[in-house]
A = this chain, B = another copy of it.
Amino acid sequence: MVRFGIVGTNTISEWFAGACRATDGRAEAVAVCSRDVGRARAFADKVGATDAFADLATMAESVDAVYIASPNGLHRDQAVLAAEAGRHVLVEKAMGASLSEVQSIFAAAERTGVVAMEAMRNVHTPAHQLIRDTLPRLGTLRHARFEKLQYSSRYDRFRAGEVMNAFDPTLGNSALADIGVYCLQPALDLFGAPRQTTGASLWLDNGFEAGGSLLLDYGTLVADLAYSKVASGLGPSVINGEDASLVLDDPGELSRIVLHERGGAETVLLDGPQVSPADTMVFEVLDFVDQVDAGLTDPRWRDLSLLARQVMDNQLDRGAS
């Protein structure tokens, strides 16, 4: 049983508490921390946690692990603090605002012998594992397309002149780190480290990276990742091999996977109800608890987070206007 203290009181923290309840007792949300202790108390009551704190260091003393879902710009300092207090840390994506921030979190965890993991829920799901297991049926992989194009609910207000956090580049936000990563991490986990990457972003007048295409170049395979917060997409995500293609409905919340063989045969491999983030989050919690039980950070997830952040940094540095 891992007893979690939650940092942050937004929707995602509520989903997380629900995910803990769905682990058959392997994880529990026991405490909440917020600068405003009244808000922490109210949120704790809402999600069934016992304790409320205004101070992370104090909360850390009373829990096994800290789940960090504060604004991205705070992740690194809070995660390092919790790790140095000897607590395991599960950090919402984006784990850090740069590769060096992510490296410093893993380094702190390694120094004190605790587990650190990025809460990147879509690579921990059985649906993602089903894709991995199916890849050999595609033959030599040639072209993959992962797409997450959304017109953000907040973009209308940006267009009306209001710069909200979600479109503020000074907070370390970007469409890539916010939603492009739902394409990037599955691609890197499925195909490995590319020999090189390239890409192009589109920029708003205030310098916010609002979308783009990122290419992972494997020499014999190109993975083409498209993401946006300012336009809706209508294409599926597809992994094309020489012998078959795999069509995915949404790399973020997969609910449908269909295998199309070159001869024309179609096999529906997954056709579940639409899934919510709360549904898929339980798998990341379980993978985290497994590591806590083993007393070791799993290099698979650590290296994936590090590689993804490096690729994101490269893309954001490339052609910034």
Q: Please list the residues of chain A having a beta carbon within 8 angstroms of any beta carbon in chain B.
A: 140, 142-143, 145, 147, 149, 151, 155, 159, 196, 198-204, 210-213, 215-222, 224, 226, 228, 230-236, 238, 240-242, 245, 247, 260, 262, 319, 321
Distance between Cα atoms of A143 and B200 in the complex (Å): 11
A234 and B247 in contact, given A143-B149, A149-B240 (Cβ under 8 angstroms): yes
Contact yes or no, A198 B196, CB < 8 A? no
Residues of B within 8 A of A217 (CB): 200, 319
Minimum distance in angstroms from A214 CB to a CB of chain B: 9
CB distance from A229 to the nearest CB of B (A): 9
Complex alpha-carbon distance, A272 and B305, angstroms: 47
Cβ-defined partner of A234 (8 Å) among B140, B210, B230, B245:
B245
Bound-state CA distance A224–B149 (Å) is: 13
- State whether B238 touches A234 (Cβ < 8 A): yes
Inter-subunit contact A219/B203 (CB<8 Å): yes
* A139 vs chain B, min Cβ distance (A): 9
* A55 vs chain B, min Cβ distance (A): 43
| A234: chain B residues within 8 A (beta carbon) | 236, 238, 240, 245, 247, 260
Indicate which residue in B210, B260, B262 contacts A142 across the interface (CB closer than 8 Å).
B210
Chain B residue numbers with a CB within 8 Å of A236 are 234-235
Q: Which residues of B contact A319 (CB under 8 A)?
A: 196, 217
Q: How far is the CB of A218 from chain B (nearest CB, A)?
A: 8
A151: B residues at CB distance < 8 A = 242, 262
A230's partner among B142, B145, B203, B211 (CB-CB below 8 A) is B142
Known: A145-B147, A155-B242. 16 other contacts (CB 8 A): A142-B210, A142-B231, A145-B235, A198-B198, A198-B200, A199-B215, A200-B222, A202-B221, A204-B220, A213-B213, A213-B222, A224-B226, A231-B241, A232-B245, A233-B238, A235-B235
Rounded to whole Å, the gap between the CB of A170 and the closest CB of chain B is 20
Contact B202 A143 (CB under 8 A): yes
- The residues of B that contact A226 with a CB separation of less than 8 Å are 143, 145, 222, 224
A233 contacts B240, CB within 8 Å?
Answer: yes
Which residue of B is nearest A230, CB measured? B142
Given A202-B222, A219-B321, A235-B235, do A230 and B213 touch, yes or no (CB 8 Å)? no
Chain B residues in 8 Å Cβ range of A222: 200-202, 211-213, 226
- Closest residue on chain B to residue A224 by CB atoms: B213
Q: Which residue of B lies closest to A215 (CB)?
A: B200
Q: Is the CB of B245 within 8 A of A231?
A: yes
> Chain B residues with Cβ under 8 A from A262's Cβ?
151, 232
For A215, the chain B residues whose CB sits under 8 A away are: 198-200, 213, 215
What residues of chain B lie closer than 8 Å to A210, measured between beta carbons? 142
Closest approach, in angstroms, between the C-beta of A227 and any C-beta of chain B? 9
Q: How many whole Å from A140's CB to the nearest CB in chain B? A: 8
